[in-house]
Amino acid sequence: MKQTIVLDNNGWSYLFGNPWIPPSLLRKLRNTLRWRVEEGRLDFLTSPSLLVEAARIRGDLRADVLREVLRLSGRKILLDLRDRIVQEARIRGSLPNAARYLNDRALETVLRRLGDAQAICEIDDAVRQEVERFRVEERRRKESIERKVGKDRSRLTRQWFARREENVADWCLDFMRENARRWRLPQEEGEWPHPRELPTLWHLVSYHHARIARIFGDGQGPDPSDKYDAACYADAAHADVLVSEDRRFREKCSLVPRPDLVVLSFREWARRVLTGES
């Protein structure tokens, strides 16, 4: 049976070097993955945002990672996150497999931009600024909420998180209301698709719901990568396995009730592939 895999950005880098697996086994791992893709046993999902992250890798590793991403994905790159959400809303459900990906022209445009050194510098600066802006905004938001709820925040968060299905649906509907005209939704909300019918939006919002529960329920601070981690989780809307060595990311994923998605560390996933368990 075919498995569909999503690797986070670090996972793709770890295919070429990491502290746990010797180079000889990494070569074997890459070759095994290639064979399984050629045999039709594996699919890899990736997105424009992950390509951008790969392009920001310094040195010779950047070319190796980009080449491997394109090879293992078969040059099938998902539509940008917002485009996927818009298209799902317009057809009132999950996109057919072929409609989830960039067309050849759009992919070539992305690759040309990633091959431009000046463009990469601009992207790098923009990402750093966005991460810092997100960090500051999240810290302010956290402090504001903590002032309002005081010492009861853990108890109130548990009560709030227990209603996660209702909360996620409400947040999705708010997002749909903000974009109803652009998405060409019917005027009557009763004619809209249920948020669960829009897998990319549902996964994106579900991850943010889980991370907020960790912040206020467990006292963890926001992670600067949260915005990009949420996009990675949304990429996994149609995946069987999500691979990340980031423990905090995996813990947040575990709070989202989706038993058919297996979330593994890179080390455990690589072990399973090399031993034939997966």
Which tens digits make up the pLDDT trace of 14-55? 999 888 999 999 999 999 999 999 999 999 999 988 887 777
Which tens digits make up the pLDDT trace of 57-90? 777 788 888 889 999 999 999 999 999 999 999 8
Task: Say if residues 195 and 166 touch (Cβ distance below 8 Å).
Answer: no
Which tens digits make up the pLDDT trace of 227-249? 889 999 999 998 999 999 999 99
In angstroms, rounded to a whole number, what is the distance separating the alpha carbons of residues 28 and 275? 11
Residue with tokens 């791992």: 29
Give me the sheet containing 241-243, strands edge to edge: 42-45, 3-7, 241-243, 262-264
Alpha-carbon radius of gyration of the chain: 20
In angstroms, rounded to a whole number, what is the distance separating the alpha carbons of residues 66 and 73? 11
In angstroms, rounded to a whole number, what is the distance separating the alpha carbons of residues 186 and 208? 27
For residue 149, what pLDDT is reported? 66
In angstroms, rounded to a whole number, what is the distance separating the alpha carbons of residues 220 and 212? 9
> In the chain, what are the domain boundaries?
3-275
What's this model's pTM, rounded to 2 decimal places? 0.88
